[in-house]
Structures are given as structure tokens and as C-alpha cells.
Amino acid sequence: MTGSKNRQRTHFEEEALRYHMRDGVPGKVALAPTKPLLTQRDLALAYSPGVAAPCLEIAEDPATAYDYTAKGNVVAVISNGTAVLGLGKLGALASKPVMEGKAVLFKRFADIDAVDIEVDTADVDEFINAVRYLGPSWGGINLEDIGAPECFIIEQRLKELMDIPIFHDDQHGTAIICAAGLINAADIKGCKIEDMTVVVNGAGAAGIACLDLMISMGVKNYYLCDRTGIIHKDRDDLNQWKSAYAVKTERRTLGEALEGADVFLGLSAKGAVTKEMVKGMAKNPIIFAMANPDPEITPEEVAEVRDDAIVATGRSDYNNQVNNVMGFPYIFRGALDVRATKINEEMKIAAAKALAKLAREDVPDEVAVAYQGRKMVYGPDYIIPTPFDPRLIYTIPIAVAKAAEKSGVAGKPIEDYDEYKKRLQGRLNPTANSMSLIFEQLHEKPKKVIFADGEEEKTIRAAMQWVNNGYGKAILVGREKKINETMDKLGFSETADREKLEITNASLSKKVDEYIDFLYDRLKRRGYLQRDVIRMVKNDRNTFSACMLSCGDGDTLITGLVRGYTRSLQDIMLVLDPKEEKTVFGMSMILAQNRTLFMSDTNVHEVPTAEQLADIACMTAAKARKFGHEPRVAILSYSNFGMPQLEKAERIREAVSILDSRKVDFEYDGEMAVDVALNPDLMKLYPFCRLSGPANILIMPNLHAANLSSKLLQQLSGGTVVGPVLEGLEKHAQIIPMGAKVSDILNAAALASI
């Protein structure tokens, strides 16, 4: 637990360090080629001599760099480490994890390839020159974690010197989301923005940018405050950036500024605003307390003195989160797609208005389900969309692109916005987004998870993450002494960490007799003696854990880390029943290269019957729909539509006939080989094929093919394999693969819980 310079690391810090070193691959980003590089000809085309052709084209016409290179989809995330998060001046190298993290967010939310650049100088001129001369490399620049006031100078000078979008997210990202919320809050309050008095507390980069954008949107009456108080004309300690917002007033303190004010925007520190200050604000006050991790005043504190306030914070555990991730990825997406030369005020305001408009529309079902504990209807508690709203990817970029065109900074306007919207929708992997929404749903409706392999280090780490992330409670099944020894090794504190986890020993549990009676009553007509059941419940953690689940002492069961899948399934199915008229099967989800495949049955039926294949196809299609995919089911075989004729393919053909008779509401076909199912060019050879495009659901002919294929993809694809997810059981249980990572255990627990 000891960090550098003998600093004691917290458990969360330890987990963060493990995450950044996981799988023996340091960091969070990597480079992957987008063209084949297998043959000598591929290499000749990619490099010498083939690369000369695009070089000559670009030399003749620089705009063709967007056609022949990746420039148009690359953003540089650049810092000098002078203001890293809330940690201060850590230096360029120490800022790299943050810049890599920002690059990951660009890819995750907007499919933009971002590269982190750390410039090791605090000198403004040196920094500007380093960036400007590297400018031809990228389509845009996201400045990050640069201290004020240098960040103002750097951004302005780079905008003047370069012809690509320059955006300092610490300033403008917060401002844009804040502006969206203010548009809607003003509407609910029944005021025009230009008639409201706005108080901004925090005169750093974000605070000044927020006020600047508000002024662009029409705000006339405002106070900007710093640690000293109101920035007014009589102060002699103001730099040029603060002095630009100095007002003539007799008021001096933040409290005086808030008297009768309509809006408070906080980008300062915890506790900066008191309940007394809030009492003195105007009717229906708008309070955006955005200090992180703790706001200037909490929504609960506001509610104690005002029942008419509209409140937003920077935190996800409150309504109305001001989160930059709803801004910068999509703003750059739109700017890059029209080859904008800058991100101007018109584009920022367009993004804010599009966000505000989105909050007034019906919320998608998958988002509403994820936030069941909140009222997701336009009003005081919902003025800003959530970060995982799938509409963001095709709403904000379009608004930004149109604003760029209208303001004359678009180098290549969009010709067909309907087609552009479809392209944008295709950039978001619905499964990845659905997994995020599942974890959000757990915040709203936490679950109690039983971890059968409670003595294992990975299980303990996963259980602690489950609790620390607010997903619910965790029960570790195992010997308390052994678990405590492992916790010692992991560096858990004696009280704060350990009290979060419940430990239960099968042989010492106060409820063991209840579980024995339950299981004996269930198995006595299957040839089991009472002593057999006693031994099973007291000595087998899977049996004991499944009894806990069946008797209502937990919501979800996770097992399989130290015991094979088949054995684990046999253990828990002695205790758990299938859902009525449902087939139990295993489904794996493969997420790779912005594409998701659902594969069934990967773990249960050795040779499924035609009826079982049809059942599995229907249940997998229903699951895919829940993850935002329109099902296209391929029932796989060695043969393609009867060629070659194989007797063993008869049940595949029969499964298709069963689906025909059921008149299902999704696309399906078979029997077909996997390459035909996935390759649109090969599929064209069979014009009668019922699938409108490559299959996204693969129903495998037998357990061997399914299990081998899923494990090969897991080891070789470079993507993420979620599962196998156990479907069809009456109770929520998941069996993870032996050797699963901590993240796999968490994913399984989340899927089982929802």
C-alpha cells in the first residue's frame, strides 16, 4: 500500500494502478492499422513505393490529406501538466494518464481517434511553438489541464496561428453543458436569459468561460467572484482577464452578490455557499453548484431552505449532472466531419441548444429503465440529458456541423444530413452503451450479490469494487480467517473497507439448517439422503450459495472462478429451476471494432435439438434487442443452404422451419456457414438469403463449435467478450469462466442483477 515517497495508497488507488497495468499492457491506448498488412504487396502499397502517390497528391492539394490520411478523424489531447485535475502542477509526464483517459473517452463516445501529447514546458511561447509546428498531424486539438491565465493566452494564440479546431475543454466543455442547463432552467423559471442576474463564483478558466458564453447568449447583469469577493471596478489586484468582467457596484461579497440573484454558477470549492445565501436569492433560483467532488452547497441543503430551486451539480449521484463528456466528443465529431477551421461561439451555442432541446424530448426506454429512481421528464429535476443517452451521438454533431456551415468555417459541408445521421448512429456501439446504462441502473436500484468463491483475491477485489461503486451489497462465501488474510495482503484497512463486505461460512451460518431443509425437500424424491444434503450444503460453496439465493438472502449469485463451468452449472441447477417453459443456455457477447456479436449456446447443450435451437434463437434475439440491436439471426452449419447435403444439418433446417411456424418478429435464416453469415460480399452469392445484412446473432450447431469459437475470439480478437451469460434460470445466477478478470466478474454481476 505504500506509494512513492512513502505515501499510503487507498484501496481505490491500488485498483486504479492495477487497471492501468492490466494484462501486462501499460496504459489505456494503442495504435491499430486500418488497412491489411499481410502480403508484400500490402506493404508496398502502405509504405514504399505506394505511399509516394498520396504524398504527391497532398503536396499538390493539401485538402486531400483528409482523403488519404487519418487526419480528419484524429484529435490531439495536449497538456503541459500545469493544472492536472485537482492535483495541481504535476508536470507533463504525470499528466499522461489523464490525457490517455481523455483519448479513450473520445473513442468511446464519438469514435474519434485521439492521441495524447505531453509538452514539457510551462513557458507559453515554447508551448505554442511546439503545438503549432506539429499541427499538420491532426484534425483538431483538445487542450487539457493547463493552468490559468496561461491557458487563455495559449488557446487564443493557437486559434490565430492554426486552421484547425482548437478547444480548451476545461473552459468551454463545462460552459456548454452549463449553458444547456441554463436554457432549460430559465424556461422552467419563466424568465428570459437576458433578464436574469447571474452570479459566477470561481474566476478560473471554467468560470470565465461560463460567463463568457452566457454573455454571448444574452446575459447582461452578472457578478464574477473570486476568493476575495466580487470582481468590481475599484479593485486593483485584477489581471486582464478578470478585469474584463469587473462591474461597478457597492456590493463586495459573494453573499451580497447573491441577494436577489436568479442564477448561481459555482466552479469554486465545497461549502462556498451557505443556506442563508440561498434564502436571499430570487424566486425559483437556479443553482449550479459544480465544484468536484463536493459541490458548493448540496441539493439537500438547498431543499432545507428553498422548495422552488432548480439545482444541478457535477456529480452523477444527483439529478442534473453537468458532465463534459456530453460535450467535447460530439462537438469535435461535428467539427471534424465538416472539416471546420475552428470551433466558434456559434458552434458552442448550437451544441448547448441541441442539448437543451434533447432534455425536452421523450427519454429512450433503455435510459429511463437505467434511471428508474429518477423522474426522467422535463422539469426542475431533469434539465440536462444523461451522459449515456444514445441520441447524443446523432444530435450534437449535427447541430455543430450546421452551425459551422452557417458561420462560414466549414471546409466541407455535409451534403445529405439524413445519411449523415445514419453514419453517426453507426459509430456508437449499442452494447457498450447498454452496459454503461446497466451500471447506472444499479446506482438507482442496488443489488445484493453472493460471491461463491469468496476466498479468492479477484473475487474480493470485485466485491469491494461492487460496494465502493454504489452497485449494492456483497456477500463473500468462505472462511473468515482466510478472507481476512487475503484482505491483509491486498491492503484493506481493518475497519473502513472490511465493514463494507459481509462474510459467511457455510458450516457456521445461522441459516444453514433452513437451507438444508429447503434442499432436502427439493431433492428427497431424486434419491438424495438427508446426510447427502447436509454434506453438500455445509461443504460445497456453490450449493450453499445457491440455497442462499433461493431462500431470498441475496439477489444474484456469481460463481465459477475456481471450478469448471459444467460442474458449477450442475451444482447450482440442483438448487435453481429454469424459468417456466424456458431453455437454459449460455450466451456470449463479443465486442470488437465497434461491432457486437451475440453467440449461443456456448456452454450448456452439447447437441441442441431443433426445438432448442429455435428457443435459443428467440431468447437471444430478445436479449440483443434489450442491448439496442435489431436481431439478424444466422443458424450456423458447415453447409450453406443444403450444400453439401449432410444428415446432421437436418435439425438446423428443422429449426428454421420451427421459426417459420412461430412467425417471429426478427430476421433469421440457415443453415449457413459463418463466413457467409458475416461477410456481405459472400452473402450476395445467395440472393434468396433472408438477412438484410451481416448477422449479429450466431446460433451455433453444437456446444463444441460454440465454446471453441467464443474462446478463440476471446483470446485472439483483441475485443471484449462478455459472458457467457447464463439465460433461462428462474433466479439470477451467472457462472464466470475460470481465470476471469475482476472486470469480467463485475460485468457478470451487473448482467445477472438486472
Whole-angstrom distance, CA of residue 428 vs CA of residue 107: 10
The three cell numbers of residue 453 are 468463491
DSSP 216-275: HTT--EEEEEETTEE-BTT-S---HHHHTT-B--S--SHHHHTTT-SEEEE-S-TT-S-H
* DSSP H helix total and E strand total for the chain: 31, 21
Q: Is 19 a catalytic residue?
A: no
600 DSSP β-pair partners? 587, 699
SS (H, E, C) 284-312: CCEEEECCCCCCCCCHHHHHHHCCCCEEE
What is the distance of C-alpha 628 from the center of its chain? 15
Q: Which of 28, 71, 96, 102 is catalytic?
A: 102
Q: Which of 47, 68, 133, 417 is catalytic?
A: 47
Q: Is 133 a catalytic residue?
A: no
Whole-angstrom distance, CA of residue 155 vs CA of residue 151: 6
Q: Which residues contact 241 (CB under 8 A, 6 or more apart)?
A: 148, 149, 152, 208
Return the half-sphere exposure (C-beta side, CA atoms, 13 A cut-off) of residue 133.
7
Task: Name the residue among 241, 239, 278 with its Cα closest to residue 262.
Answer: 278
Whole-angstrom distance, CA of residue 219 vs CA of residue 211: 9
Cβ(616)–Cβ(720) under 8 Å? no
Helix (H, G, I), strand (E, B) or coil at 328: helix
Helix (H, G, I), strand (E, B) or coil at 721: strand
**Cell 458475416 maps to which residue?**
678
End-to-end CA distance of the chain: 34
Whole-angstrom distance, CA of residue 582 vs CA of residue 576: 13
Q: Which residues contact 264 (CB under 8 A, 6 or more apart)?
A: 199, 201, 258, 273, 281, 285, 286, 287, 288, 289, 296
Whole-angstrom distance, CA of residue 447 vs CA of residue 431: 21
SS (H, E, C) 414-481: CCCHHHHHHHHHHHCCHHHHHHHHHHHHHHHCCEEEEECCCCCHHHHHHHHHHHHCCCEEEEEECCHH
Whole-angstrom distance, CA of residue 536 vs CA of residue 23: 36
The three cell numbers of residue 537 are 450444503
Task: Name the residue among 749, 751, 737 with its Cα closest to residue 450.
Answer: 749
Question: For residue 511, what is the DSSP state?
Answer: T
Looking only at Cα atoms, what is the longest distance across the chain?
A: 93
DSSP 160-195: HH-SS-EEEHHHHHHHHHHHHHHHHHHHHHT--GGG
| 581 backbone φψ class: left, alpha, beta (φ>0; ψ -120 to 50) | left
Whole-angstrom distance, CA of residue 241 vs CA of residue 485: 56
- List the beta strands (DSSP E) in 446-584: 447-451, 472-477, 501-504, 556-559
Whole-angstrom distance, CA of residue 83 vs CA of residue 91: 8
Residues annotated as catalytic (active site), given as ranges: 47, 102
